């Protein structure tokens, strides 16, 4: 990076709610937002938005004819984007670059349209435009009346942090003065849940904590899906109104043996973390918000990578997937939100049942590394520091 990038606000909608004070209060508890749900005859776990936030989504859908037929992922993005932009005091109609990614895009709407096609032998009129991945950034830009570039992408589960990488590049090139980076995912649908179960990585046991992210003694995979969106307002350089700064970024792609494999020593993570730490010694990193999805191999691979970079007495380790599930393309941004909140409140949030997480408690919180990885062997690391 040429210079630090300021984060002037971050906003989200997730199983923890949307108000910063509520989100932080729920992080301070040992309770999770995961419940059992009937996905058309298939009982499985999921982390849904709370009822009061669900009412806001419905209110938005009914507020205008243009929102009526759009996918849920678009609505979640619009709500969080509005909050982020308002918090940064960016004017409506400003020249704002936008990159909002999603691993799956219009999941629910696509499944509904395909079901209609199977039953009727034809597609509905708006099936194509309303299920196109680019609709998320486009509709957020329409709502903000922004005039900058609009970008959407899918880099599977690291999508959100890839949006941040793209934002850094646009800002430091001088092509944008303001950039909104985000991720949105609403994939709690019967087909998606069935896909995860088919891979044999999904949690199936009724326990106090169904998702055992960072429990290194678990004997079964325990990944669980959640839904949500998060948006980050970014400006180049150090700004007085910044809530945190991005001081390093890292990214890589490691060679795969098959489409969903990951190396035992997290070779990709090692490279992305080293790149993000280019200007900061490893000893200066106080905590890592891990990707840690709750799978046996995934959690172990990332821990091995962290130990290789920092040693076994390295920074404090945590993850939020035990609490809100894995939100695919939004997960990296929600992890970044946790990191920023810990910096703001100077309080580390450990995984309550993880011996490893509770063993490495930080003496301070100044520099926090955030990791994400996705199918395809890609890894991203973003270093945020206290303003």
pLDDT in tens, 86-123: 999 999 899 999 999 999 999 999 999 999 999 999 99
Residue 259: band (very low, low, confident or very high) from pLDDT cuts 50, 70, 90: low
Four-way CATH pick for 5-386: 3.40.47.10, 1.10.10.60, 2.40.110.10, 3.40.50.2300: 3.40.47.10
Tokens of 269: 């993570």
Q: Kindly indicate the confidence band of residue 261, based on its pLDDT and cuts at 50, 70 and 90.
A: low
Q: Are strands 316-318 and 287-289 parallel, antiparallel or unpaired?
A: parallel
What phi and psi, each to the nearest 5 degrees, are found at residue 152?
-130, 150
> How confident is the model at residue 245, as a pLDDT?
98
How high does pLDDT run on average in the chain?
95
Residue 260 pLDDT grade (very low, low, confident, very high; cuts 50, 70, 90):
low
Does pLDDT of 134 surpass 80? no
Mean pLDDT of 330-354: 98
Backbone angles phi, psi at 257, to 5 degrees: -90, -35
Half-sphere exposure of 140 (CA within 13 A, CB side): 38
pLDDT digits (tens, 9 = 90+) for 198-218: 999 999 999 999 999 999 999
pTM of this prediction exceeds 0.85:
yes
Over 70: is that where the pLDDT of 244 sits? Answer: yes
Considering only residues 162 and 2, tell me which one the structure prediction assigns the higher pLDDT: 162
Cα dist from 92 to 62, 141, 341, whole Å? 22, 10, 26
Residue in 372, 377, 157, 155 with CA at minimum distance from that of residue 261: 377
Taking the C-alpha atoms of residue 67 and residue 51, their distance in angstroms, rounded to an integer, is 20
pLDDT at site 87: 97
Mind listing the pLDDT tens digit for each residue in 33-88? 999 999 999 999 999 999 999 999 999 999 999 999 999 999 999 999 999 999 99
Q: Residue 279's pLDDT band (boundaries 50, 70, 90)?
A: confident
Kindly indicate the confidence band of residue 133, based on its pLDDT and cuts at 50, 70 and 90: confident
Given pLDDT bands bounded at 50, 70 and 90, which one contains residue 352? Answer: very high
In the structure, what pLDDT confidence band is assigned to residue 227 with cuts at 50, 70 and 90?
A: very high
* Local confidence band at 377 (pLDDT 50, 70, 90 cut-offs): confident
Question: Could you tell me if residue 121 is left (phi over 0), alpha (psi between -120 and 50 degrees) or otherwise beta?
Answer: left
H-assigned helices in 203-295: 267-276
Over residues 154-169, mean pLDDT: 96
- Non-local (6+) Cβ contacts of 145 within 8 A are 92, 93
């Amino acid at each position: 990076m040429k210079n630090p990038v300021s984060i002037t606000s971050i906003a989200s909608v997730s199983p923890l709610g949307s108000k910063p004070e509520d989100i932080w209060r729920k992080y301070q508890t040992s309770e999770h937002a995961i419940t059992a749900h009937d996905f058309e005859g298939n009982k499985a776990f999921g982390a849904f938005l709370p009822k009061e936030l669900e009412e806001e989504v419905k209110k938005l859908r009914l507020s205008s004819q243009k929102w009526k037929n759009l996918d849920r992922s678009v609505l979640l993005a619009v709500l969080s984007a509005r909050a982020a932009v308002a918090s940064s005091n960016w004017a409506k109609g400003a020249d704002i670059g936008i990159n909002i990614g999603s691993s799956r895009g219009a999941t629910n709407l696509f499944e509904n349209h395909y079901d209609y096609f199977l039953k009727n032998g034809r597609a509905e009129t708006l099936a194509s435009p309303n299920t196109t991945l680019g609709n998320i950034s486009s509709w957020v830009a329409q709502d903000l009346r922004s005039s900058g570039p609009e970008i959407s992408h899918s880099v599977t589960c690291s999508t959100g942090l890839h949006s941040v990488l793209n934002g850094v590049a646009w800002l430091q090139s001088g092509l944008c003065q303001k950039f909104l980076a985000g991720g949105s995912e609403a994939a709690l649908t019967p087909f998606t849940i069935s896909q995860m179960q088919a891979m044999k990585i999904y949690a199936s046991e009724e326990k106090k904590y169904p998702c055992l992210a960072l429990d290194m003694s678990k004997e079964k995979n325990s990944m669980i899906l959640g839904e949500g969106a998060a948006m980050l307002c970014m400006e180049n350089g150090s700004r007085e109104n910044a809530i945190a700064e991005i001081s390093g970024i890292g990214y890589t792609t490691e060679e795969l043996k098959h489409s969903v494999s990951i190396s035992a020593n997290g070779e990709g993570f090692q490279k992305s973390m080293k790149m993000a730490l280019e200007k900061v010694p490893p000893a200066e990193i106080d905590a890592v918000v891990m990707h840690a999805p709750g799978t046996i191999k995934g959690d172990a691979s990332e821990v091995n990578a962290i130990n290789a970079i920092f040693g076994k007495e390295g920074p404090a380790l945590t993850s939020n997937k035990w609490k809100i599930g894995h939100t695919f393309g939004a997960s990296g941004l929600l992890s970044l939100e946790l990191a920023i909140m810990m910096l703001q409140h100077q309080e580390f949030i450990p995984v309550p049942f993880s011996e490893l997480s509770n063993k490495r408690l930080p003496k301070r919180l100044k520099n926090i590394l955030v990791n994400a990885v996705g199918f395809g062997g890609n890894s991203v690391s973003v270093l945020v520091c206290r303003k």
